[in-house]
Amino acid sequence: MPTEFHIGIDDTDSESGGCTTYTGAVLYQELYDIGIRPSDYPWLVRLNPNIPWKTRGNGAISIHLIIDEDQIETVQHLAVRITKETAHLSDKRADPAVVFLRGPVPMILQEYSLSALHNVLSIDQARSVARKASVETHLLKGSRGLIGSLASIGAGLDSVAHTFEIIAYRTRENLGTSRRVNSESIKVMDSKQGSGTFHNLDPESGRILVCPHGPDPVLLGIRGLTPQGVQDAFNRVQINETVERIMIFKTNQGTDAHLTQHRKVIELARYQSAVVTGRVDTVPKIVRGGHVIFQLSDETGSLSCAAYAPTRSLKAAARDLLPGDRARVYGGIRRYRNGKPTLNLEKIDLLSLVENVNKENPICNLCGSRCESMGRGQGLRCKKCGLHNETGTTIRIVTPRSLQLATYTAVVSARRHLSRPGNTVR
């Protein structure tokens, strides 16, 4: 009897190289080589990007199979061996984990995965979930990789919003050298593929975003909406070095999946991803470095919102807010200052805008200089000639707002793996 069988892998990467996606690609392809066909593309699952100790994009991998009981042992041996071979075990930051689940994914793992997109989870909690879901765990060193490997199995990318990424890997001898990919061909690909792919380049500076920097084995990765779209885009790129292997992943990148948890200010905690709806309380302040800070409150409290300078279009929108505007803000809680949470903004939805009204005293009819108010209901008096106008009032000056009731996002170069493409309003 064939059964569902799921493999989750996390934390095989490190600062000095390695990459969890590479482990996933090798395993997927070796399964193919022994005649085992996974039931879906391998999943590349990005988790809460606001956890500071996960600096490399917080991604985990899962592979999903429908296989005969008697193949399970072979698959498990292969998965553990390949994880050992590809993980950078000597690096103290790598904490690889491989986990196995027989049968359908239980609700508790789906809920756990959702939580891993928004919260900071403990290893004890991960152990408890693994036990309750009857997940078999293989920890190669420490336990930290357990969280992502469990969450990747439960991500439900067969039903929830997803995109695809095609990743090409470098050969071992090229690791650490500069990537020989023709930039012009990427620009041509970007213009030809239209909206089928995203985040190929920074449209403002023209900087290439598909190639990472540093020693990891990824030569380039192209993100897009369909497997065929990313394959076609890849075929247009001119590569001048040997490619070891190519893999297409199904992923939650580009879906804003981490920005779906609506919270009240009082519920916020450090390193969460959060969405808060409230009223702007202060005129935004531009601080050192060009960052923009404003206060927002709901009925439970207030928080500081920070739009950092590199987010450019987002920062520009934040700067033009006025007290009384209503907004939904999206981002990560990175720190508390004086007991107040600070949300690093990734996106703002403007829900309502106040009128930008200024009041001005009119000019004196007699001498042309500025009048002053005599107090409420007392009319105006000219400062220079003393003319008293008992019925005069101040003039309301309404300046049109530069903002619209729209969604404002960071420029492409300042977005996260999970950030949804498009949306930038200028």
Contacts with Zn ion, residue ranges (CB under 5 A): 364, 366-367, 382, 384-385, 387
| Rounded Cα–Cα distance for residues 301 and 304 (Å) | 11
Nearer to Zn ion, 176 or 386 (CB): 386
Nearer to Zn ion, 161 or 366 (CB): 366
Q: H or E segment at 23? A: helix 20-33
Q: Least CB distance from residue 351 to Zn ion, whole Å?
A: 45
The sheet carrying 243-251 orders its strands as: 136-139, 97-102, 2-10, 59-68, 43-46, 243-251, 163-170, 218-224, 197-198
Secondary structure (3-state) at 151: helix
Report the candidate in 227, 217, 242 with the shortest Cα–Cα distance to residue 164. 227
Secondary structure (3-state) at 258: coil
Nearer to Zn ion, 236 or 383 (CB): 383
Secondary structure (3-state) at 310: helix
Nearer to Zn ion, 385 or 395 (CB): 385
Q: What residues are paired with 358 via a beta bridge?
A: 397
Q: What residues are paired with 337 via a beta bridge?
A: 340
Q: Least CB distance from residue 364 to Zn ion, whole Å?
A: 3
Q: CB–CB of 113/154 below 8 Å?
A: yes
Q: Least CB distance from residue 326 to Zn ion, whole Å?
A: 43
Nearer to Zn ion, 92 or 388 (CB): 388
Nearer to Zn ion, 382 or 410 (CB): 382
Q: CB–CB of 114/107 below 8 Å?
A: no
DSSP state of 394: P
Q: Least CB distance from residue 387 to Zn ion, whole Å?
A: 5
Report the candidate in 337, 394, 348 with the shortest Cα–Cα distance to residue 371. 394
| Rounded Cα–Cα distance for residues 395 and 32 (Å) | 77
Nearer to Zn ion, 276 or 382 (CB): 382
Q: Least CB distance from residue 360 to Zn ion, whole Å?
A: 16
Q: Least CB distance from residue 377 to Zn ion, whole Å?
A: 21
Look at the block and give the residue holding tokens 């400062």: 383
Report the candidate in 161, 201, 423 with the shortest Cα–Cα distance to residue 313. 423
Q: First CA to last CA across the chain, in angstroms? A: 57
Beta-carbon count within 10 A of 235 CB: 9
Nearer to Zn ion, 130 or 382 (CB): 382
Q: Least CB distance from residue 389 to Zn ion, whole Å?
A: 10
Nearer to Zn ion, 143 or 389 (CB): 389
Nearer to Zn ion, 156 or 362 (CB): 362
Q: CB–CB of 204/413 below 8 Å?
A: yes
Q: Least CB distance from residue 394 to Zn ion, whole Å?
A: 16
Which tokens is 100 given? Answer: 């196995």
Secondary structure (3-state) at 320: coil
Q: Least CB distance from residue 358 to Zn ion, whole Å?
A: 22
Nearer to Zn ion, 207 or 370 (CB): 370
Report the candidate in 124, 54, 62 with the shortest Cα–Cα distance to residue 99. 62
Q: What residues are paired with 363 via a beta bridge?
A: 370
Q: Least CB distance from residue 369 to Zn ion, whole Å?
A: 5
Cα three-residue angle 275-276-279, rounded to 5 degrees: 150
Q: CB–CB of 101/9 below 8 Å?
A: no
Q: Least CB distance from residue 392 to Zn ion, whole Å?
A: 12
